[in-house]
């Protein structure tokens, strides 16, 4: 294998242009041509990782197998590529500075003034090259978060400049910008793109390929104009037009020959035409549903759908697998009460109670869970959603009226959910939860076994509290069983109510590992139960 090639993806004009999706789509096409590809995200904020961020800030915190709390774009990378990411795939400014400062304290730079160039840029370079160094990947795609021109992005763009210089033909820059449509004059405007390329040029970086986000087809005359003003060849001006689903983007990029242009620039052979049969089979199912089901997603961040990104995508995958369209009814848990629950959830075919932290909106989640249980509506509780189902069952079926999680009420009489033993005494907040993949032993005959078709699995976690095993006997006698446990610690991973048509609460996060080619078995089983129950 030749040297690893590097593709840097930068963005201009505005954020939220979908850099992550374009990067993932390009990676998909290169992978479908037979190359091994990985994607990395560099985030310019100072938090060491997004684990300490409120979801309102940047949406969901995604978790990798090896326990990294990361940007949600890593979810797209895994969903598109069907390849696992790791700690190395997401780096923040906080982490870069933390490593440099730790080295400085150790004396690694003894005698020297520690500076952004070369020390910070060297550390960024090291983090980029780690992924290429093991010879595992032909191509590493590095997405730079933020927008060119931001003060915070400067060290990253400077690193890209240096790497382009050092790597020559082995590195290219794909720059994503916006071509807005002015309705009043009926025109597409290229000026913002020209300005954003100018500011990239000011930092010494010439983009090799421009991807223009647009609501309307960009005519050849406009492409020529962009090419002329921005020093790129005409075939390097690629449009990325709005599409009904993000899963169409790889096909649009294929039409625009983004993969060919990139490989040509990197002096790499085209190999075979992209093999996209399974991807197209998924799209065909997604676009031709035989029926529609409606699922209530009960959570406290429902104003920002990105807070539940992986759950939404996992439901899309599972819907396609079952050949139904999944419509989500976003239900704010703070707005549910005993009096309005029937009205809020009227007509839904399934209820999913979302993960979360803290007391806000908890009562509404409990009420919605009770409604699902008593009305025999398929129920899926994830992490806090599972804990809620345990609290609800304890209070309303086992008649332990003061049952609670000690996260919400430390002094409750019946702490059915309690702080994990190894979490006691931990005061620091960053990266200290039970994170990443752990094994789960599955009970025969359960919803779990039917879904996985196996008696064991591995799933990712992000929590501090757990089912209190002192109550396990009472629960099992009372009709709620533990159908999945950690084989080493006995920690209850899954609860089910066998009497109910499909009631499953999981301590782990199955949504993180659902991909287009491997929809998650529990989401598939949940939607299947909904279809059968409808
Ligand atoms: N707050 C709960 C805990 O820490 C659940 C966390 C979650 O839903 N991710 O255990």
Q: With 80 as the cut, is the pLDDT of residue 73 above it?
A: yes
Tell me, in angstroms, the distance from the centre of ligand 1 to residue 507's CA: 8
- Please state, in angstroms and rounded to a whole number, the distance separating the CA atoms of residues 241 and 264: 23
Tell the residue nearest (CA) to atom 5 of ligand 1: 384
CA angle 323, 329, 331 (to 5 degrees): 150
Tell me, in angstroms, the distance from the centre of ligand 1 to residue 419's CA: 10
135 band by pLDDT with thresholds 50, 70 and 90? confident
Instruction: Assess contact for 491 and 485: CB atoms under 8 A.
Output: yes
Q: With 70 as the cut, is the pLDDT of residue 23 above it?
A: yes
Reported as half-sphere exposure (CB side, CA atoms, 13 A), residue 334 has a value of 8
pLDDT for the residue 57: 87
pLDDT for the residue 133: 85
Express as a percent the part of the chain with pLDDT over 70: 100
- Residues belonging to the active site: 383, 509, 511
pTM: predicted TM-score of the whole model, two decimal places:
0.96
| Strand blocks (E) in 348-463 | 350-353, 379-382, 403-405, 414-419, 434-442, 456-463
Tens-place pLDDT, residues 223-253: 999 999 999 999 999 999 999 999 999 999 9
Q: With 60 as the cut, is the pLDDT of residue 187 above it?
A: yes
How confident is the model over 69-80, as a mean pLDDT?
96
Tens-place pLDDT, residues 387-398: 999 999 999 999
Classified as helix, coil or strand, 179 is: coil
Q: What's the mean pLDDT when you consider all of the chain?
A: 96
Q: How many CB atoms lie within 10 A of CB 360?
A: 12
pLDDT for the residue 40: 97
Tell me, in angstroms, the distance from the centre of ligand 1 to residue 340's CA: 26
Q: Where are the alpha helices (DSSP H) in 300-454?
A: 309-321, 341-344, 362-374, 384-396, 447-452
Q: With 60 as the cut, is the pLDDT of residue 475 above it?
A: yes
Q: With 90 as the cut, is the pLDDT of residue 461 above it?
A: yes
Tell me, in angstroms, the distance from the centre of ligand 1 to residue 433's CA: 9
Q: Which of 354, 358, 407 has the most ligand 1 atoms within 8 A of CB, as the residue to mutate?
A: 407
pLDDT for the residue 342: 97
Instruction: Please report the atom of ligand 1 found closest to the CA of residue 356.
Output: 8
Q: With 70 as the cut, is the pLDDT of residue 529 above it?
A: yes
Q: Which of 301, 387, 491 has the most ligand 1 atoms within 8 A of CB, as the residue to mutate?
A: 387
How confident is the model over 482-501, as a mean pLDDT?
97
How confident is the model over 84-102, as a mean pLDDT?
96
Residues lining ligand 1, Cβ inside 6 A? 355-357, 383-384, 407, 462-465
Say which residues have a Cβ less than 8 Å from residue 33's Cβ, sequence separation at least 6.
259, 263, 270, 271, 272, 273, 274, 275
- Please state, in angstroms and rounded to a whole number, the distance separating the CA atoms of residues 303 and 433: 26
pLDDT for the residue 1: 57
Instruction: Please report the atom of ligand 1 found closest to the CA of residue 358.
Output: 1
């Amino acid at each position: 294998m030749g040297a690893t090639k590097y593709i840097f993806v930068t963005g201009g004009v505005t954020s939220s242009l979908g850099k992550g999706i374009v990067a993932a789509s390009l990676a998909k096409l290169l992978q479908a041509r037979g190359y091994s590809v990985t994607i990395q995200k560099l985030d310019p904020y100072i938090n060491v990782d997004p684990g300490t961020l409120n979801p309102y800030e940047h949406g969901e915190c995604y978790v990798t197998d090896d326990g990294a709390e990361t940007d949600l774009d890593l979810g797209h990378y895994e969903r598109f590529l069907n390849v696992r990411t790791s700690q190395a795939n997401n780096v923040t400014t906080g982490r870069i500075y933390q490593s440099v400062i730790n080295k400085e304290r150790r004396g690694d730079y003894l005698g020297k003034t520690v500076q952004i160039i070369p020390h910070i840029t060297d550390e960024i370079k090291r983090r980029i090259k780690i992924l290429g160094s093991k010879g595992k990947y032909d191509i590493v795609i590095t997405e730079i978060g933020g927008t060119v021109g931001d003060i915070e992005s400067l060290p990253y763009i400077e690193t890209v400049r240096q790497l382009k210089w050092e790597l020559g033909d082995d590195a290219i820059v794909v720059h994503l910008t916006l071509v807005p449509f002015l309705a009043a004059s009926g025109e597409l405007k290229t000026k913002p793109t020209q300005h954003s390329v100018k500011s990239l040029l000011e930092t010494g970086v010439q983009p090799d390929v421009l991807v223009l986000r647009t609501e309307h087809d960009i005519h050849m005359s406009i492409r020529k104009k962009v090419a002329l003003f921005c020093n790129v060849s005409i075939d390097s001006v690629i449009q990325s037009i709005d599409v009904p689903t993000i899963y169409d983007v790889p096909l649009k990029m294929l039409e625009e020959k983004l993969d060919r242009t990139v490989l040509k620039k990197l002096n790499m052979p085209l190999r075979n035409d992209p093999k996209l049969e399974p991807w197209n089979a998924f799209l065909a199912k997604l676009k031709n549903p035989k029926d529609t089901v409606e699922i209530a997603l009960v959570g406290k961040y429902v104003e920002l759908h990105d807070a539940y990104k992986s759950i939404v995508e996992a439901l899309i995958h599972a819907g396609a697998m079952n050949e139904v369209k999944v419509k989500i009814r976003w239900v704010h848990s703070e707005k549910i009460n005993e009096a309005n629950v029937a009205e809020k959830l009227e007509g839904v075919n399934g209820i999913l109670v979302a993960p979360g932290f803290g007391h806000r909106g908890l009562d509404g989640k409990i009420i919605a869970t009770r409604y699902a249980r008593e009305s025999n509506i398929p129920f899926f509780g994830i992490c806090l959603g599972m804990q809620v189902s345990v609290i609800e069952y304890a209070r309303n079926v086992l008649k332990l009226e003061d049952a609670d999680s000690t996260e919400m009420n430390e002094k409750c009489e019946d702490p059915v959910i309690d702080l994990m033993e190894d979490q006691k005494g931990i005061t620091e907040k960053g990266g200290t939860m039970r994170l990443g993949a752990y094994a789960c032993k599955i009970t025969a005959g359960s919803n779990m076994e039917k879904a996985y078709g196996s008696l064991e699995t591995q799933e990712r976690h992000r929590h501090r509290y757990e089912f209190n095993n002192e109550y396990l006997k009472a629960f099992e006698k009372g009709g709620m069983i533990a159908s999945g446990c950690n084989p080493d610690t006995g920690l209850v991973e899954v609860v089910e109510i066998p009497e109910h048509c499909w009631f499953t609460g999981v301590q782990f996060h199955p949504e993180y590992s659902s991909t287009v080619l491997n929809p998650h078995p529990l989401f598939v089983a949940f939607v299947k139960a909904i279809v059968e129950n409808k």
